[in-house]
Amino acid sequence: MARTRVLVVDDSVVVRRLVTEVLSRDPRIDVVGVAANGRIALTKVEQLAPDLVTMDVEMPEMDGISAVRAMRAAGHRQPVIMFSTLTERGAEATLDALQAGATDYVTKPGSTASMADALAEVAAQLIPRILALAPPRAAAPAAAPAPAPAPAPAAPAAPVRPGRDAAPTARASAVELRPAGPALPVRLVAVGSSTGGPEALSRLVGALPVLPVPLVVVQHMPPVFTRQLAARLDRLGPVRVHEAEQDQPLEPGHAYIAPGDRHLTVRYVAGALVAHLDDGPPVNYCRPAVDVLLRSAVDAVRGELLAVVLTGMGADGRAGAEAVVQAGGTVLVQDEPTSVVWGMPGAVATAGWAHAVLPLGDIADVVTGTVTQARRAPVGRIS
């Protein structure tokens, strides 16, 4: 049986044992080694060629961020999932790691959690990410060199990082696009993302000019992390970025990130769009949820809405995209080659709700054209 080969890196013996025990219970995963710091991890990556690495952030000798940078500099493209803490410092370090080339992250269980609760929490967070980022496959011979890019449609051993040039896959090229409807003005841009989203949002927001409409964003992230993300995005370009606040007016040229663990919805109040936050139940196991945001945006502006679904696990955004299309709005999704995980955008595209499937590097231009031109930008193409 093919299994995903994982290297576990953490300076804590307790955490290494916990993670190893959780992963070893799943027959699809094989823990092939452990390492107590980043320096040892680099040696074991060379020796063991794992399919995926779990990496602690703070470690002696070489921390996780430095280890990720060294892995990428050496040409290792395995997905790396960071282990982080739910603190300001942990959030900042995790975003640094993602910027350095890490693929995703999970948060460590709280210190008050029982062993049973800690095991369950780690399993719930970590296993789905491992299997999405590095699905079980037949192992290649240990001595075989890294394969060169090939024209075959088979998925690569490790996900292509956002921004890399790549040919469309057979799955993406088979997607049936929605035809553009009657030209409508755009009054709001709504964006949803998850795994790989912080890097994708950085590239999108950094490339946008000051738009004549507000932009609202759901990125699946816990509290504290979203505040740090908003601060980082705010430094990238002319668009002002905020973590959304209750009853905050949504101003043109500004972007608003949903706070972690709160749904962000848009309301039309006294002639203006305002943000509303609530603690309603998770949707698609997520809070904030993209579907919640998109449905509320449709209620607020009807078809005068541009929705963008970026890289992420799961199918959050699919039902919301349907509502956008039915109201007469436009839906863009990121393509598979430039997505870390083509779950959310793929779910929208394969359901038939996308007007365009675009490389990440093209989305800012299409958003700008769609918003600023009297007619819709030409979105009837696939990358």
137: tokens are 């496959």
- Counted residue by residue, the chain has a size of 383
Distance CA 382, CA 77 (A): 26
At 335, which amino acid appears?
Answer: D
- Alpha carbons 16 and 10: distance in angstroms, whole number: 6
For tokens 């990440």, name the residue.
360
- C-alpha span between 288 and 290 (Å, rounded): 7
Spell out the residues 6+ positions from residue 14 whose beta carbon is closer than 8 angstroms to its own. none
DSSP state for residue 165 in the 8-state scheme: -
Q: What are phi and psi of 227, to 5 degrees?
A: -65, -40
- Strand bridging mode 356-358 / 330-334: parallel
H-helix or E-strand containing 17?
helix 13-24
Structure tokens at 321: 């995209």
Which active-site residues does the annotation give?
A: 194, 220, 316
- Taking a C-beta distance cutoff of 8 angstroms, is the pair 42, 74 a contact? yes
What is the CB neighbour count within 10 angstroms for residue 74?
Answer: 10
